[in-house]
Each structure stands twice: as C-alpha cells, then as structure tokens.
Amino acid sequence: MTHLTLTQHLSNYWSPARFEMLPKETVHLAKRFLIDTFAAGIAGHNTEAVEICLAAFSDQVSAGPKNASIWGRPEKVSANLAALINGISTHSLELDDFGGCGHSGAVVIPALSALSEKVPYSGKMAITALVAGYDVAARVLEGAGGYRSINDLGWHSTGICGSFGAAAAGAKILNLNPEDFANALGISGSFTGGIWAFLADGSMTKRIHAGKASENGLCAALFAEKGMSGPSQVLEAQWGGFFSTYAKECATPDLTLKNLGSEFRISRSGMKPYACCRGLHACIDSLLIVMNDKRLSSKDIAAIHIHGNIQYKLQFDRLNITGLLDAQFSIQYALAVAAVSGNGSLSQFIKQRNHEPEIKRLMYSTLVFSNQTLKAGEYPAIEIELVNGSKIKHHTQYAKGAPENPLSDEELITKAISLIDPVLGSSQCSQLLATIWNLEEVKNFNQIIDLLKPSS
C-alpha cells in the first residue's frame, strides 16, 4: 500500500468534502467568522496600509483586470490583488479573529472571496471552503508545534501557515481533485513567510503578512488548477520541508491529522472584543473585572504588576508609543486606556492617548515581570495596588472571545454593526448580516460580495 503524505491525507479528505458532512455547530461558526472577518475588513478599508498598497499597484488598479471586489470600496481589481488588499484591510486594525493559524479569517476569507466572480459558487460551497481553509491552516500550525513554539522562534504564524489555509479554500472553490488539491498545498509551502521584527520599531509589515499569505495561497490554487505540481511532502520532508525548515526542534507532525474529519479546527478560533493583540485581552479582562467588582476609578489605582514570562515581557512591555501598532502591542497602554475609558474599543487605539496625564501616569505605574512559567494558551495574572495600600490579584484563564468564553451572537452583531454601519450604512449592513445568517440558501455568493461594496 502506498504511504500517503500529510498533504495527501488532508487533500483526500477536503477535496471531496460536502456541505452536508458539516455539523450544524460548525456551519454556524463559519457564518459567525464570515461576519466577523467582513466587519474587520470593511472597517480597515481606508487604513494607511491599504492606501499604500493601492498606490503601489496603481497601474494594476487603473488598467488591470477588474474581476474581484475590495471590501468597503468601489474599486474592482484582479483576484490576486483583491486577496492581498482584503487580507491587509482585515488585519490592519487588530480586529480580526485569532487562534487557528494565528489570524485565519484574514487569509482564508479574502482568498475565497476573490474567486467569487471567476467561479460562481453557492453559499454552501462558501461555508465548506471556509471550514476547509480554517482546518488546514490550523492543522499546519499544530504540526509545527503550535503558536507559542513558533512565536518564540520569531515566526509570525499567520504569515508562515496562513498560505496553506488560503490554498485549501481556493482549491475547494476551484473544485480541484485530490491530486491537484495536494499540489495547491505543496505550492503554497514555497511562499510562506513572516517575522516579528516589526515590533522593534512599530513598522507596518505585520499588516502585510495576512494579505500576502492570502494572495500566495490563492495563486497556489490557481497554479495547481492549470497543472503545476507541488511537493507532496511539503510538510514533512526531512530536508527543506516546512516542519524541518521552520520548526525543526519543536514540530509535532502527528498533530496535523489528529481527528481529521471528526474535529473541525474552526472551533479553536476566537473573536476579539478589543482592538489590540490577543495577548493583552486576559489582562484587560482582569482589570475591568476588578474595577467593576470594587467600583474603582482609574484614580484609585496606584500601580499594576503583570506577572508574565520572558516572552510576554519581550512582546508587550512597551512604553514608547509612536503609532497604532505600538499601542496595540503595549500592555501598559492597553491597561491605561481600559482603566480610564472602561473598554478596549478601536477608538481607544486609533488615536493614541499616551500623552494624556492620567494615561501616562498609569502606563508608567505598570510594571511587567518575567517571573512566571506560562503554559501554551496561558496568560499572565495582574496585581493591582490601590492608593489606599491594598492589593488585588486576578487571573483570567479564558479572556472574552476565546472558544471557551465566546462572544454571543448578539455581542458579535453589536461589534459588526459598529464597524460596518459607518462605511456601508445601517440598511445595507442589516441586509448583509441577514443574508449571511441564511447563507446556505444563497445560490450565488456574489450576492454577498455585492453587499460589501458602497451602494453609491
């Protein structure tokens, strides 16, 4: 019997997979993540990163193919450019989902969206492709050792694993047979990348990672459709394979296929209630819980101590705020604005407040310690010292939005409306949300795409 590679196993399952094979709860999750991702992408439609991308490819925007839509904008561009731009916009405000490959929605959904006008497909197919993309992207990261291990090596998992998910979604939309589906995954492995160097100076490259992964995965699927072959051992090859190259010391290849077909990895992704890196959310939750329980104001707080590990301090101990990304990766800033405003909404980050006296006081009164050993998926406890001398310690195991503590449908809708309404208007927003909730009844996914563009 011929030994199947990891990509062949994945392809043999997902290539023939049908909507009817998906559990109801998985279908509902797919709709939720579609809403969440579209909301984040529409909100980011005119961010600086998107405008730079449009300017960089202005010749293609003005004279190139116009067969794919940019969410929240009137322009149409080529499919690959649409995947790039929509991935960038979705990831540009730190509002997109987490878990999976890191930020699965920002790579998977732009890829399948970009194909809607090239290969018309149904709402059922959109759901199936979305679930396939989330599943494959997450399984690749799990096979590489998981987010914490990859992150510690300096890789941004969205960039290095996301292209596999985008390729899977594209291959599903293109109805590729198992061999060509595997080729798409193999090809996508040659176009993986993304490192955390942007944190050193707050540069914009993080925004590009999701868009490039989406574009690369889409192109891999299109290559495979036309007969390009890809390495069948792209994941496990001993030399030059994805695991041996990116995760040589920490890879756990057996996890790639664990419970394939019975557990869908979309269930391991979560949604953000706050517009900053997910690593900050547990501490924000802890702070707000204590303040609400004790009826505290920010002026009652003398100091905050964060009991993290070496990696947490390296990633989030950040007092010098020079722009949006710095604010979104600073535990001092996030806790300060949460303490003053009572929330971690986009408005608290998009216009930085670090020069305000109370924000500045709280930031410089927040100390980050590397005195703990944190397990994968575990976040620090915080200790709040009050001006009266008392101390309160609190640890949040599952921050709001985690799969174990999810946003309710109502909370998701509130978030989506707040991001979509200002761009598309309340009537179109309501129509979009209602159509997604009934997505299995939609015969042509372009009905959804048309609602992502301004009506005028």
Kindly report, residue by residue over 387-420, the tens digit of the pLDDT.
999 999 999 999 999 999 999 999 999 999 999 9
Name the band, by pLDDT with cuts 50, 70 and 90, for residue 2.
low
What tokens appear for 386 in the block? 């009050």
Q: Which CATH superfamily is domain 6-272+406-450 in?
A: 2-methylcitrate dehydratase PrpD (1.10.4100.10)
From the CA atom positions of the chain, what is the Rg in Å? 22
| Span 300-329, pLDDT tens digits | 999 999 999 999 999 999 999 999 999 999
Q: Which CATH superfamily is domain 278-394 in?
A: 2-methylcitrate dehydratase PrpD (3.30.1330.120)
Q: Between the CA of residue 48 and those of 42, 51, 203, 219, 329, what are the distances in Å?
A: 14, 5, 12, 25, 18
Q: What share of the chain is helix, strand, coil (3-state, %, to 5)?
A: 55, 5, 35
Kindly write down the DSSP assignment for every residue of 112-157, as one continuous string: HHHTTTTS---HHHHHHHHHHHHHHHHHHHHHTT-HHHHHHTTB-H
Partners of 19 in beta bridges: none
pTM of the model: 0.96
Name the band, by pLDDT with cuts 50, 70 and 90, for residue 374.
confident
Strands (E), 188-339: 301-307
Per DSSP bridges, beta strands 301-307 and 366-369 are: parallel
Task: Establish whether domains 6-272+406-450 and 278-394 are of one fold.
Answer: no
The pLDDT of 259-267, averaged and rounded, is 97
Partners of 402 in beta bridges: 405
Domain layout of the chain by residue ranges:
6-272+406-450, 278-394
Between CA 265 and CA 351 the distance in angstroms is 35
| Span 203-254, pLDDT tens digits | 999 999 999 999 999 999 999 999 999 999 999 999 999 999 999 999 999 9
In this structure, the number of other CB atoms found within 10 A of the CB of residue 398 comes to 16
* Average model confidence (pLDDT) across the chain: 96
